[in-house]
Structure 1
């Protein structure tokens, strides 16, 4: 795999069906003044639209950790939500997880991991590990999946589980994952830009240097990781790091299925679910999940 060249993320290059959805994301509402966690959370709270699930999940309390269990299938998707490690909740993905469980005939377990900066690395990753152990004891197969920061945590969980000899992970599904604290991209890229990434990494690392479990792109050895489905967007801040990680997985002998969606932006299928590129991505992801859950 060859990394894609750098592109100028200008509006004319964006899939026209996605442009309207960008207006409801963080980037158009960011002030010109310096950002911090509190200011971004306030904007996110104002913009967030909650969508109720068709069927309420079963809520499991695991010590101080909450798991939200959708569906009743014997195989499981462990879902890790996005939000830069400092935004979002598992409950915010209830509708998505409910629909995913119904479409796959599987269980979907969403982990409500603790957020930075109140709980910096490695607390969120350890919460995901506890969720994986819970799932492994109850389901025949477990696929770990997540988007953005959740995709980064899913990748880190695969590394941690490999190194600790933890529960088997059938496959990893990483959607435009946040993998590298060293990324330096354009400040005006849509949906999630460098300013937000800086807030996220500063909160998550809490002044400490990143290791491979914080930023999986820093891992020197990617052998022995589970089969991986990874997709990203052409106009995504994380695109180059995602392409590079996919290529490194493949070079390490890991089965990789990769896609870079043209004209798409970060979280494109969330902000414009009816767009043709969004429907295509969702279909491909679900077909891949169905395969990995059934093998």
Structure 2
């Protein structure tokens, strides 16, 4: 049985009553935390989720899969199941990169796959936007910095970072370096801070790599990485361990003159 503390009552009191009842019904304190388990590829198998419902019909376009060594790039118009349902009605072509995953392929394998895909797609970079959520937000932020630093720069038009992981240098042994939201929401529902760090350890087994901007975009010290950066939307959740990271990155981009919109989801 897990001895991980339940979500603090002060946090539960801030939730919608129906959602609070759902959280309590899952009895998370009785379930083993990911960071208490041995890694297995079977952990990638997720349970079924509710159907998101139908959307406005759109013209069906072509789909083409480009196979490149160990990964592929799917290019399709948004119809049916698509990689990013958040932009299903944006009437744009979506490229979703099947990048290599850790721990079988640790940093920077997945990031390099995304970068190669962007280079391949950038025949007309004036029409390319990049989006990613959580760990994908980390990869998206790092790729956009690479695009700004490349020679010549790849002039992207937009980046959307949804509850992104912006820092990878935190340690479970040194809480003094944790962000305010990591401390305040340490034991919140999946993932907890320790589970987040468990994921991080699988992706970044080398401690030295965790301080590189490609792994921690918030640690980017080269101002050129921000000079060609596109307008940015950063979305964070109010009661989320990652909230402070997104807010801090928004401040950093703003300080470098990047147009930023920060949205706190409540």
Same-fold call, TM cutoff 0.5: yes
Partner residue of 2:233 out of 229, 235, 249: 229
TM-score of the pair, normalised by structure 1: 0.68
TM-score of the pair, normalised by structure 2: 0.74
Aligned to 2:98: 112
More displaced 10-residue stretch of structure 1: 7-16 or 167-176: 7-16
Q: Distance in 2 between matches of 1:139 and 1:24?
A: 48
Shift of 1:236: 0.9
Q: Distance in 1 between matches of 2:127 and 2:24?
A: 39
Note if 1:148 corresponds to 2:134.
yes
Aligned to 2:199: 200
Shift of 1:49: 4.2
Aligned to 2:220: 219
Q: Give aligned pairs, total.
A: 235
* Structure 1: 5+ residue stretches without partners: 1-6, 73-93, 263-295
Aligned to 2:174: none
Structure 1 segment 68-217 matched on structure 2, within 5 A: 68-71=74-77, 95-97=81-83, 99=85, 102-137=88-123, 141-165=127-151, 166-183=153-170, 184=178, 185=182, 186-209=185-208, 210=210, 211-217=212-218
Aligned to 2:57: none
Q: Aligned-pair RMSD on alpha carbons?
A: 3.5
Task: Give the conservation status (yes or no) of the 8 Å contact 1:230–1:257.
Answer: yes
Q: Distance in 1 between matches of 2:24 and 2:122?
A: 40
* Structure 2: 5+ residue stretches without partners: 1-7, 55-59, 171-177
Partner residue of 1:257 out of 250, 255, 261: 261
Shift of 1:139: 6.8
Q: Distance in 1 between matches of 2:207 and 2:116?
A: 23
Aligned to 1:67: 73
Note if 1:12 corresponds to 2:13.
yes
| Runs (4+) off by over 6 Å | 50-56
Q: Distance in 2 between matches of 1:50 and 1:33?
A: 23
Greater CA radius of gyration, 1 or 2? 2
Task: Give the conservation status (yes or no) of the 8 Å contact 2:126–2:156.
Answer: no
Shift of 1:256: 0.3
Task: Give the conservation status (yes or no) of the 8 Å contact 1:35–1:199.
Answer: no
Higher RCO (CA-CA < 8 Å; seq separation 6+): 1
Aligned to 1:293: none
Task: Give the conservation status (yes or no) of the 8 Å contact 1:156–1:216.
Answer: yes
Q: Distance in 2 between matches of 1:66 and 1:219?
A: 29
